[in-house]
Amino acid sequence: MPTFKVTLAYDGTDYVGWQRQANGVSIQGLIEDALRVLDGRDVRVTGAGRTDAGVHALGQVAAFTIARVLSPDAVLRALNAHLPGAIRVLAAEEAAPTFHPRFGARAKTYRYRIWNGDVISPFERRYAWHLPGALDLDAMRAAARLVEGRHDFAAFQASGGSAATSEREVFASRVDFQSLTPHPQSPLLAYDISGAGFLRHMVRIIVGSLVEVGRGRQPAEWVGAVLASRDRTAAGPTAPAVGLFLVGVEYGGALAALS
């Protein structure tokens, strides 16, 4: 009964999210369906991050145990043969039977992409939030740094989260323009955040709050006051799912991601 750790990239546009649900097509559900064909029995897949509907992944990590004895490469090829092109297994390796992608994760990195131009490229419409108008990047940079460290992130948590505590540690929180071929002078802003764990909608509420600062509606320091308030109603709106990517998940060693 070998256990496998797989690294996945997916375009979340057309799915209800990572987690299998009664209605709609989920990433987890499609992988479990493919494994049922491969293994001839029901296989349960666990993921490192339960990405919401419309959220993408460059380096989601998942694990499962199957009855058939197969090489990691055979598992990779069989899954990619069964999965739609919007979901790809980038890497597969054998893992200890005790490996758990979420509980074992030391750090996760998310990226949020904003298209800050009047007209969004058709090639970015599924992968970035279209937000025209002036943004004060220096103020956003300063505000982003204020969430680094260990804090109670209750103000940046959506209702319906299942976490026992809202304390989390953020290792890095940075925003900058990103060069984007074939648009070297692109109006694409990337916000990167890595941390030991994240609350429900935490990245999207932080981004919504940074945008309040970028638009000059709030000073950078306001983000610190929101954090201290522990009050969700004090923070900015939740940024849309379209711009969010799970970049990678870190375990004992190196970052398990294409970054």
Q: Which residues does residue 114 pair with via DSSP β-bridges, in sequence order?
A: 129, 189
Residue closer to its own copies (CB basis): 183 or 232: 183
Interface residue with its own copies, options 247, 249, 250, 256 (CB under 8 A): 247
Token pair for 242: 């379209």
Q: Is 88 in the site for its own copies (CB under 8 A)?
A: yes
Q: Does residue 254 belong to the site contacting its own copies (CB under 8 A)?
A: no
Structure-block tokens of residue 77? 């090829």
Residue placing its CB nearer to its own copies in the complex, 67 or 258: 258
Whether the CB-CB separation of 57 and 9 falls below 8 Å is answered with: yes
List 52, 176, 192, 231, catalytic entry: 52
Closest contact distance (angstroms) between CB of 196 and its own copies is 22
Q: Which residues of 32-63 are buried (b: 16+ CB within 10 A; e: fewer)?
A: bbbbeebbeeebebebbbbbbbbbbbbbbbbb
Taking CA atoms, 189 is separated from 18, 128, 173, 255, in Å, by: 25, 9, 13, 23
Per CB under 8 A, 165 contacts its own copies: no
111 near its own copies (CB under 8 A)? yes
223 touches 143 (CB < 8 A): yes
Residues within window 124-143 making contact with its own copies, judged by CB under 8 A: 125, 127
Q: How far apart are CA 21 and CA 41, in angstroms?
A: 20
Among 1, 22, 69, 119, interactor with its own copies by CB under 8 A: 119
Based on CB atoms, which residue is closest to its own copies, 60 or 157? 60
Catalytic residue list contains 73: no
CB–CB of 88/30 below 8 Å?
Answer: no
Binding mask 63-82 for its own copies (x = CB under 8 A): -------------x---x--
160 binds its own copies (CB under 8 A): no
121 touching its own copies, by CB under 8 A: yes
**Of 2-21, which residues contact its own copies (CB under 8 A)?**
9-11
DSSP 67: S
Contact 242, 54 (CB under 8 A): yes
Q: What does the DSSP assignment read for 118-161?
A: SS--TTTTTTSEE--S---HHHHHHHHHTT-EEEE-GGG--TT-
Residue 182 sits in the site that holds its own copies (CB under 8 A): yes
How many angstroms separate the Cα of 185 from the Cα of each of 127, 134, 174, 177, 188?
18, 16, 20, 9, 9
Among 35, 180, 210, 235, binds its own copies (CB under 8 A): 180
The reply on whether position 58 binds its own copies by CB under 8 A is yes
Pick from 43, 78, 120, 244 the residue near its own copies by CB under 8 A. 120
Residues that bind its own copies (CB under 8 A): 9-11, 56, 58, 76, 80, 85-90, 111, 119-123, 125, 127, 178-183, 245, 247, 258-259
- Residues annotated as catalytic (active site), given as ranges: 52
